[in-house]
């Protein structure tokens, strides 16, 4: 089913979007961990990123080597157009569902 994205995938995509020019492995990991208050393994994160690349939701490029990280380059990620469309789809779906279920989901007693 093309266009389907899971919860974690959505989280990764949105985080990459929010990080802008600075979206690479460590920054994505730390951002997600900070916001969602959970630890994620680096293997799981990179697996997800790789899957998202397979689905053409992400594109990447290698940065310039720096003194940090033993001179190893960072790989930066950016959303593709399809990625953005997929995010919009899921958001539209959610919004619609939220609208329909306003009364039941109210936290006020």
Partner 1 sequence: MKSKSNVRPPNLADRLFEWYCENASIEDLHGDMEELFYSNIESMPLWKAKLKYWQQVMSLMCSYAVKKRKMKSVYHTYSHTSINYSMISSYLKIAIRTLLRNKGYSFINITGLSIGLACCMLIILYTKDEVSYDHFHENGKGIYQLTCDRVETNGHSKKFAIAAMVQGPAFAKEIPEIESYVRTKTQPTTIKKGEQIFNDNILWADDNFFSFFSFPLISGNPKAVLSEIHSLVITPDAAQKYFGNEEAIGKSIEIQVDGSFETFIVTGIAKQSPENSTIKFRLILPFKYLEEIHPDNGWHWVSFQTYFLLNPGANPEDAKLKMVKVYETQAKTEIDEMRSMGYGDRFIWGLQPFVGMHLNTEYEGVPDASDPIYSYVLLGIASFILVIACINFINISIAQSLSRSKEIGVRKVIGSQRIQLVVQFLGESFLLCIISFVVAFVIARLSLPIFNELASKELDLSYLLDANLVIGLGGLVLATSMISGFYPALILSGFSPVKSLYGRPSFAGKNVLAKTLVVVQFSLSIILIISTLFIHEQFTFLTEKNLGYNDKNLLEITVDKAIRDKTISRALKSAFSNVQGVEIVAPKNVGKFQRPIKASGKEFPATYEHVDEDYVTTLQIPIVAGRNFSKEYTADSVSSVLVNQAFVKEVGWTDPIGKTIDYMDIPGWGNRKLTVVGVIKDYHFDSLKEN
Q: Which stretch binds partner 1 (CB under 8 A): 4-12, 15-23, 44-52, 96-104?
A: 44-52
Residue 78's alpha-carbon distances to 24, 61, 97, 107, in angstroms, are 9, 9, 28, 36
The contacts found for 33-36 with CB under 8 angstroms, 24 or more apart, are: 36/11
Q: How far apart are CA 35 and CA 77, in angstroms?
A: 19
Number of residues that bind partner 1 (CB under 8 A): 23
Report if residue 50 touches partner 1, rule: CB under 8 A.
yes
Residues 45, 12 contacting (CB under 8 angstroms): yes
Identity of the residue, 66 or 101, whose beta carbon is nearer to partner 1 in the bound complex: 66
Identity of the residue, 69 or 88, whose beta carbon is nearer to partner 1 in the bound complex: 69
**Interface residue with partner 1, options 47, 81, 91, 100 (CB under 8 A):** 47
DSSP SS3 for 1: coil
Q: Which residues bind partner 1 (CB under 8 A)?
A: 24-26, 29-30, 41-44, 46-47, 49-51, 54, 62, 68-70, 72-75
């Amino acid at each position: 089913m093309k266009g389907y994205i899971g919860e974690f995938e959505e989280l990764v995509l949105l985080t990459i979007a929010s990080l802008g020019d600075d979206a690479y492995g460590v920054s994505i990991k730390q951002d997600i961990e900070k916001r969602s208050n959970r630890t994620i393994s680096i293997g799981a994160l990179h697996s997800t990123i790789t899957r998202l690349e397979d689905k053409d939701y992400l594109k990447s490029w290698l940065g310039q080597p720096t003194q940090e990280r033993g001179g190893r380059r960072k790989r930066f990620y950016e959303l593709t157009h399809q990625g953005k469309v997929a995010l919009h789809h899921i958001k539209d779906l959610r919004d619609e569902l939220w609208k329909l279920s306003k009364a039941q989901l109210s936290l006020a007693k």
